[in-house]
């Protein structure tokens, strides 16, 4: 049995998508601490192999500090062998930090887009890997390749895309994996962790990213850790992200005051704590002229890492009456009606806002930012 850690898609220094730059900087620091935590965990656990399946950083943005931090963390655990298979965000080439940085001896960075083997006889393990050497990789370097020594625990590490057969990011098919005969394939690229999947005799997994970078990457994130032998694959997902992004919808159709909305959010968000960046989407149909300020609602909440309240409600519209309304209100509605019913989200959203502004204006109410 060999103890192993497998992570991918850390994307150090890539831009975060929160609205507030101070929060984005905080999250960037948290992704550094998530990696440090993972290395600490590996030490405690006694991992002998640490796999990083590409997109460790974004080469456009990486700072010297971050590159040094990666090298320092790896050097801090000399009893463990680290392997990096560069992906499309951190390809191996002459200007890459992989090339110009000094790296500790216990890390092997794959440099070629051809499959390369590193033997670790003392662990009875062979590690096969490859690198993106550019922003794309058109063919799968391990298609039709098999491990040379079937007595070894054969592990393959690589960045690859199973979504489409003509992917620009190293297309990997299930058949490639089934036919390969490796014991474990440590993939990277997909940001949602898959857990271990077995096809044929081969186990593979995408660990997902170590830290979510926006509301499009919700939930707790982490790495795969566990023991592996020729017979058993005990790799399991372990959480390392300190923070997480979550989005909830709160229907406020039944509410008529701002305090009621606040109570409804409190109830819906009761399970989230200070580790959560929370987006609250207020939905439902509200009475025309009901005005509330999302900013002042946000200010009522202090228990989260970050909170963002979005108004996605629609004002109640008496369509039947407005269709025959002879006043400017009716004309306004009829000109918007097509777009209000549009299937295209941005078109619908624009019309919804216009209707909300319009209704308020016609009623002589304030027009505020919705």
Q: Give the shortest CB-87-to-Mn ion separation in angstroms.
A: 4
In whole angstroms, give the CA distance from residue 322 to residue 320. 6
| Position closest to Mn ion via CB | 189
Q: Give the shortest CB-25-to-Mn ion separation in angstroms.
A: 23
In whole angstroms, give the CA distance from residue 266 to residue 154. 50
DSSP 8-state assignment for residue 169:
B
In the complex with Mn ion, the residue whose CB is nearer, 137 or 309, is 137
**Span interacting with Mn ion, options 19-27, 54-62, 200-208, 254-262, rule CB under 5 A:** 54-62
In the complex with Mn ion, the residue whose CB is nearer, 135 or 295, is 135
**Span interacting with Mn ion, options 81-89, 109-117, 133-141, 230-238, rule CB under 5 A:** 81-89
Of 226, 186, 243, 214, nearest to 37 by C-alpha is 243
In whole angstroms, give the CA distance from residue 370 to residue 295. 10
87: left (phi over 0), alpha (psi -120 to 50) or beta: beta
Q: Give the shortest CB-131-to-Mn ion separation in angstroms.
A: 13
Q: Give the shortest CB-187-to-Mn ion separation in angstroms.
A: 10
In the complex with Mn ion, the residue whose CB is nearer, 87 or 358, is 87
> Residues 13, 30, 55, 59: which binds Mn ion (CB under 5 A)?
55
**Span interacting with Mn ion, options 20-28, 51-59, 91-99, 195-203, rule CB under 5 A:** 51-59
Applying CB under 5 A, what is the total number of residues that bind Mn ion? Answer: 3
In the complex with Mn ion, the residue whose CB is nearer, 87 or 97, is 87
Q: Could you give the angle at the alpha carbon of 49 between the alpha carbons of 46 and 51, nearest 5°?
A: 125
How far CA 18 is from CA of 113, 182, 215, 294, 364, in Å, comes to 35, 40, 8, 17, 35
Query: For residues 334-353, which are near Mn ion according to CB under 5 A?
Result: none
Query: For residues 170-229, which are near Mn ion according to CB under 5 A?
Result: 189
**161 binding Mn ion? (CB under 5 A):** no
Q: Give the shortest CB-169-to-Mn ion separation in angstroms.
A: 6
In whole angstroms, give the CA distance from residue 16 to residue 23. 9
Query: For residues 101-130, which are near Mn ion according to CB under 5 A?
Result: none
Please state the φ and ψ torsions of residue 56, each to the nearest 5 degrees. -70, -35
In the complex with Mn ion, the residue whose CB is nearer, 189 or 352, is 189
**87 binding Mn ion? (CB under 5 A):** yes
In whole angstroms, give the CA distance from residue 60 to residue 188. 19
Query: Which residue ranges make up the site for Mn ion (CB under 5 A)?
Result: 55, 87, 189
């Amino acid at each position: 049995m060999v103890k192993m850690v497998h992570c991918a898609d850390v994307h150090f220094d890539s831009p975060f998508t929160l609205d507030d730059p101070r929060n984005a900087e905080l999250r960037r620091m948290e992704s550094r601490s998530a990696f440090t935590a993972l290395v600490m965990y590996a030490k405690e656990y006694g991992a002998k192999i640490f796999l990083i399946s590409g997109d460790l950083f974004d080469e456009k943005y990486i700072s010297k500090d971050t590159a040094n931090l990666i090298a320092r963390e790896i050097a801090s655990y000399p009893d463990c062998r680290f392997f990096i298979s560069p992906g499309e965000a951190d390809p191996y080439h002459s200007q890459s930090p992989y090339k110009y940085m000094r790296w500790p001896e216990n890390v092997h960075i794959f440099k070629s887009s051809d499959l390369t083997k590193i033997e670790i006889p003392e662990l009875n393990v062979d590690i096969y890997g490859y690198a993106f050497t550019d922003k794309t990789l058109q063919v799968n370097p391990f298609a039709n390749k098999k491990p040379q020594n079937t007595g070894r625990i054969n592990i393959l590490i690589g960045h690859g895309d199973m979504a489409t057969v003509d992917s620009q990011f190293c297309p990997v098919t299930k058949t490639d994996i089934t036919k390969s005969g490796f014991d474990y394939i440590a993939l990277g690229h997909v940001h949602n962790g898959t857990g271990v999947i077995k096809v044929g005799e081969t186990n593979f997994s995408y660990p997902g990213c170590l830290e979510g970078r926006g509301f499009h990457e919700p939930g707790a994130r982490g790495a795969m850790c566990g023991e592996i032998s020729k017979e058993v694959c005990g790799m399991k997902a372990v959480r390392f992200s300190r923070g997480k992004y979550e989005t909830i919808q709160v229907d406020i159709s039944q509410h008529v005051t701002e305090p009621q909305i606040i109570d409804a959010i409190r109830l819906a968000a009761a399970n989230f704590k200070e580790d959560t960046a929370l987006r609250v989407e207020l939905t439902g149909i509200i009475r025309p002229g009901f005005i509330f300020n999302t900013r002042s609602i946000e200010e009522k909440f202090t228990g989260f890492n970050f909170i963002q309240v979005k108004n996605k409600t629609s004002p109640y519209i008496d369509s039947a009456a407005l269709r025959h309304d002879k006043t400017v209100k009716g004309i306004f509605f009829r000109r918007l009606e097509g777009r209000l019913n549009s299937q295209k989200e941005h078109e619908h959203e624009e019309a919804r806002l216009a209707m909300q502004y319009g209704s308020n204006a016609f009623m002589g109410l304030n027009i505020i930012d919705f």
